[in-house]
A and B are shown apart, each in its own frame.
Chain A
């Protein structure tokens, strides 16, 4: 069993951190995991993305053409990854920064106003956690609880005061459930 997850957005939206958190949770649950960033010049200000592969056996290729899951935090990332998600896969869209709907009907789609939710929670920087929560609620690879535990276990002590905010963001995101696929 292998799950490939792409997380994409602008630099500064926390896409690499969200992926690392997933990787920690996978490791703590005894799974194999590979986290790989795009590390080109685009890291500075442009788009950023990372791929997380979670598996119960030795992981082969660190990159995939068609991920099962994509979390897109802005419009360029939606345009890039909507066509690539595997049929039957999951696309989580940050509706706050995307001004169009999703065309595909052969994948599950979750539209999450992640920035607005993060701002309601008091810190726009946790939009990435809102997105991650929405993904976890719609895909069985890991539970929200597993990711909360990973955050508790691996968060630096000086950031510990941010834990409740991040947990709340995950839980708010997890309230967004995709509709059932019609034909699949």
Chain B
């Protein structure tokens, strides 16, 4: 298969089609709109379902309904639109039906702006809808990964009856890179035994997120938790760069991770032994590898495009075994490799402090530039 030049949003849309997407429901919002626009052309061409809903609330509840029939279904949006979908996502999680969600993050909170940011990490990974559930969250950092992880999201959502989120920022949505698109998979012809597709000739099935009897809800919570334990045991993914002899390890996901890669290479060129760990699944989080690295390295540098949301997960994984530092740009400002390089150089040339919180130390440095 030859490489073609794909724009992130469109690459994800086509990858979903190739994965067997049968129904898409969405509402336009920058910097994600090309995804919906492309599917508005592509889905009808294939005789599949495309609906531009009246709102994000409408879209996510259409997704909920379609998911109950056992077909592959997806929606996509950007940060403020994702917020509007949270109630529906909780119902989807509570009903244990598989759904793929794409969040092309922009600057916030609130209306914010349309520039790239990573401020939705907590909303997607740790929160969002009410109740006890965890989505699988895949964080691509280039267009090939966006394609591959979109395909994977459908498989994982189905395997674990879970919500699988492809989490990226606006720069990846708008970027073009060469990538290989996998062949079109045939649509499903068999459906899981929970799907509701007409009950003629069989016992009726009920899909719902309502369990009025608390012990039954407890049972449902435990069922969801056990599936999550399987996800944690089987689905952690990350990519390491130059880790073998690394004194320091930079940790970043998505675009922040690839910006850090440039900084790591520049630092290596100056003789600083530094590596990069780029989580590909931010949920389940690659805690074990971080804990292992913590016993080998002199320190970590977490780089994000938010105020340190993944940082808390890194701290939890490292358990104080090594110093952790933090660097971020916020609100739609992208970090530059030079800025991350300066942090790496500072870590390599000065004793690392473990006083206070890394976020606090970062703020101090930001307010009092050297």
Write the residues of chain A forming the contact surface with B, with a CB cutoff of 8 angstroms.
20, 23-24, 27, 32-37, 39-41, 58-65, 154
Contacts and interface: CB of A to CB of B under 8 A. Distances in A.
B174 A64 contact: no
A64 B115 CA distance: 16
Interface string B1-17: 00111000000000000
B31 interface: yes
B255 interface: yes
Q: Which has the most chain B C-beta neighbours within 10 Å: A34, A61, A62?
A: A61
Contact of B337 (A35, A39, A40, A64): A64
Interface string B164-179: 0000001100111110
Contacts of B171: 36, 62-63
Given A27-B178, A33-B177, A61 B3 contact: no
A59 B178 contact: no
A60 B262 contact: yes
Residue among A27, A36, A62, A63 with most chain B CB within 10 A: A62
A127 B221 CA distance: 63
B1 to A, nearest CB: 14
Main secondary structure of the interface of A (DSSP, over half): mixed
A60 B258 contact: yes
Interface residues of B, number: 28
B50 to A, nearest CB: 24
Contact of B177 (A34, A39, A61, A63): A34
Contact of A61 (B176, B178, B258): B258
B313 interface: no
Contacts, number: 72
B31 A60 contact: no
A161 B369 CA distance: 57
A27 B3 contact: yes
B261 A58 contact: yes
A37 B5 CA distance: 14
B159 interface: no
B233 to A, nearest CB: 29
Across the A-B interface, the 4 shortest Cβ-Cβ residue pairs: A60-B262, A60-B261, A27-B178, A61-B262
Nearest to B337: A61
A33 B174 CA distance: 14
Given A36-B175, A60-B265, A65 B258 contact: no
Contact of A39 (B114, B142, B334, B338): B114
A12 B127 CA distance: 43
Contacts of A35: 5, 175-177
Contacts of B31: 39
A23 B262 contact: no
A33 B265 contact: no
B363 interface: no
B103 to A, nearest CB: 17
Contacts of B354: none
Interface string B243-282: 0000000000001001111111100000000000000000
29 contacts: A23-B5, A24-B5, A27-B3, A27-B5, A32-B177, A33-B5, A34-B176, A34-B177, A35-B175, A36-B171, A36-B176, A39-B31, A39-B174, A40-B115, A58-B142, A59-B177, A59-B258, A60-B259, A60-B262, A60-B264, A61-B258, A61-B263, A61-B337, A62-B171, A62-B259, A63-B334, A64-B336, A65-B336, A65-B337
